[in-house]
Amino acid sequence: MRQYDEAVLEFLMCPLCRAPLVFLDKGKLQCTKCGHVYSVNGDGIIDMLSNSLVSSRDKQWMKWYDENAGQYYRLFQE
């Protein structure tokens, strides 16, 4: 897992309440106001898309995209 420098926190804020974030152990970030915890995946990507912000319609679209995106990428490759 990629480790982030503390300096990255200067550029990030909680998407739910806009408060600053702090690092927890095991590659997670936590909001200093609402306490929401954001995970960092194995590729070092911070997941800041809270499930509470995603509508069921958006989840259907995201599922469709995950299943079909590879076909579109092949169209643009030569």
Secondary structure in 3-state letters for 12-51: CCCCCCCCCEEEECCCEEEECCCCCEEEECCCCCECCCCH
Pick the piece of the chain touching Zn ion (CB under 5 A) from 4-12, 33-41, 46-54, 55-63. Answer: 33-41
Amino acid at 39: S
Give the one residue of 8, 17, 22, 69 binding Zn ion; rule: CB under 5 A.
17
Nearer to Zn ion, 54 or 69 (CB): 54
Residue 14 binds Zn ion, judged by CB under 5 A: yes
Alpha-carbon gap, residue 3 to 33, rounded angstroms: 23
Binding site for Zn ion (CB under 5 A): 14, 16-17, 19, 31, 33-34, 36
